[in-house]
Chains A and B, each alone.
Chain A
Amino acid sequence: MKKWKRRLKKILLTFVALVFAVSFLLPTILTIANSFMSEGEINTNYGVIFNQFKEPEYGERNTDYVSETVNLKFIPDMVDFSQYSTVLLKSPEYLLKFWNSVILTVPIVIFQILIALGAAYSFTRFRGRIRELIFFLYVALMLMPFQVTLVPNYLVADWLHILDTRWSILLPGFFAPFSVYLLTKFMRRIPTSLIEAAQLDGANEWQIFTRICIPLCKGAIASVAILVFIDYWNMVEQPLIMLSDADKHPLSVFLSQINSGEVGLAFAVATIYMVPTILIFLYGEEYLVEGISYSGSVKG
């Protein structure tokens, strides 16, 4: 009797988890599945939604059969790579925007972490009231929403005459406080005895920093890099405000502008844009989870 009850509970819980999982995965799977459909099939399935936004072109679209209702389809009638070939071969603008994303995100990840490592080391090794106060400043700034921090960033970019250049996004990104906060939390877990032992052996600060703290923080650096990458890879607010020249916009912003016209294309571009983050998930999920776990409180 009891065994039966336990089994029922297990089945029920698994069912609940499945329901959650399906609803969480649905948009991702839909995006990928739709990217393998031809423009005609997309039009048949979603025409009723997206056609209302656009003028019929050359009359050709009108001849297509458009379903009266929306069809959600997870398996394309015919796997079709035409969207991908359009993106990759025929329209260099998408690749250009992809490249824009890369040259905005990668330097930010690298330099933010390099600068933050020093700060985190300082917060770990030398404690005191003033230092804790400064750390509090970092945390408070980190928690501020974009609407607050973007105004100062914009002012400085204006002073430096770097508005409308990539530097207006890169430079504030280098100094963003998030990495400092998380790396400090990781570094403070390093046993002090380890550092003291090194000191007794005659290691100087630089050696302790580069030979002990950084190697011990490798996992942490991976975690932070992943979180920072995901954040900046999806940036929307900064380019909208800093870059009025749409040619310099990253794909994350540009994606929204192809929505209404070529829906099928948008799905393919979105899928391509997801590739780096999917790779991160496949190879670095443990680091990602660890990074999130460590961000679980505001104190160092």
Chain B
Amino acid sequence: MSKQPVTEDGIAYKKPKKSKKDRRNAALYLSPSLLGLLFFFIVPFFVIIFYAVVDNPVNREFVFLDNFISIIQNSSFQQAVKNTITFSLVAVPLAVILSLVMAMLLEQNIPMRSQFRTFFLSPMMVPVASIVLIWQVLFDYHGVINEFIQKLNMAPIDWFKSDYSQIVVVVLFLWKNLGYNMILFMAALNAIPRDILEVATLESATEFQKFWYIKLRYLSSTILFVAILSLINSFKVFRELYLLAGDYPYKSLYMLQHFMNNTFHSLDYQKLSAAAILMAIVMCIVIGILFFVEDHFGKDVEEA
């Protein structure tokens, strides 16, 4: 890569000279936002780090990692971590694959494509709480799904209070997030240079070959982005879960967010801070991977 900066369209531009005036202007336009960010997010975060390494806010005796250790040994924290990881491991790959399938489906020559796109996006407009109501109708013990299952002569399943409960949440998560991911994939599919695909068609490549050798290669960075976005969104599924099952749901539905939320209510700053920091560290690693991978794969396609 040359040192000259390039816009996203590949047009080289002159690096602005860093005059004093420029710098002052830059600071001026950024300051409202940055000051707010510092005050509401960054500075208190350092205070949290402080809270996490002292024994209590009044005594302020330095205990280093004790709070972290007690968090990690806390059995409900362990349960929450385990459930969150299991959930993400199932939900994220499904979210990536299904949304890619949907995006490719809408690329095909089928009628009413733009209507289908609207339909697939429609879950975004439904308020979470009313989804929850519908989910109860569907997955309740006397609900629609069990009725269907019974018609097939199988035993009904107690969806919310058994090991199947995570399935309910995975379905909810997919329903809510697939549309957004699909749009990301559609944009990426659109960005694949047409001429490469045309050449492949001329050389009588099959649909599968075109997908495997060309499209997938161009999509690689988007796939990773969608995967990580879905991972982040899978942490946000608490919103639905809380409305569905409340503060203390069935064991396999107890997620990290429940742990945090319940700790909030007991106002245990030490525990809360330590948990928030642990989570921030994990997220930083994930985001770091995202940046690294995007750098790496982005270049790969550009040079190809």
Q: Spell out A's residues near B (CB within 8 Å).
A: 10, 13-14, 16-17, 20-21, 23-28, 30-31, 46, 48-50, 69-70, 72, 115-116, 118-119, 121-123, 125-128, 131, 134, 136-141, 143-156, 171-172, 174-175, 177, 180, 188-189, 191-192, 205, 209, 230, 233-234, 236-237, 240-241, 251-253, 255-256, 259, 263, 266-267, 270-271, 273-274, 277-278, 280-281, 285, 288-289, 292-293, 295-299
Q: Dominant SS at the B interface? A: helix
Residue B130 CB within 8 A of the other chain: yes
| CB-based contact B126/A175 at 8 Å | no
**B17 CB to nearest chain A CB (Å):** 11
| CB-based contact B260/A147 at 8 Å | yes
A280→B136 CA distance, assembly (Å): 27
| CB-based contact B184/A293 at 8 Å | yes
A277→B131 CA distance, assembly (Å): 14
| CB-based contact B184/A292 at 8 Å | yes
**B170 CB to nearest chain A CB (Å):** 14
| CB-based contact B40/A147 at 8 Å | no
Residue B264 CB within 8 A of the other chain: yes
Per a CB cutoff under 8 Å, which of B25, B105, B125, B225 touches A296?
B225
Q: Spell out B's residues near A (CB within 8 Å).
A: 5, 7-9, 11, 13-16, 18, 22-23, 25-30, 32-34, 36-37, 39-45, 47-48, 102, 105-106, 108-111, 116-137, 140, 142-144, 147, 175, 178-180, 183-184, 186-188, 221-222, 225, 232, 235-236, 238-239, 242-243, 256-257, 260-261, 264, 272-273, 275-276, 279-280, 283-284, 286-287, 290-291, 294, 298
14 A-B interface contacts by CB (under 8 A) = A13-B108, A122-B28, A134-B30, A138-B37, A140-B283, A143-B283, A143-B287, A153-B40, A189-B7, A192-B13, A255-B129, A270-B127, A277-B125, A297-B294
By a CB distance below 8 angstroms, the chain B residues around A189 are 7-9
| CB-based contact B26/A49 at 8 Å | no
Per a CB cutoff under 8 Å, which of B36, B116, B126, B147 touches A31?
B126
By a CB distance below 8 angstroms, the chain B residues around A122 are 25-30
Given contact pairs A24-B179, A122-B26, A30 touches B132 in the complex (Cβ within 8 A): no
| CB-based contact B125/A21 at 8 Å | no
By a CB distance below 8 angstroms, the chain B residues around A126 are 16, 22-23, 25-26
| CB-based contact B238/A115 at 8 Å | no
Leading 4 A-B pairs by shortest Cβ distance: A270-B130, A175-B36, A255-B129, A152-B44
A248→B40 CA distance, assembly (Å): 22
| CB-based contact A46/B137 at 8 Å | yes
By a CB distance below 8 angstroms, the chain A residues around B184 are 292-293, 295-296
A28→B175 CA distance, assembly (Å): 12
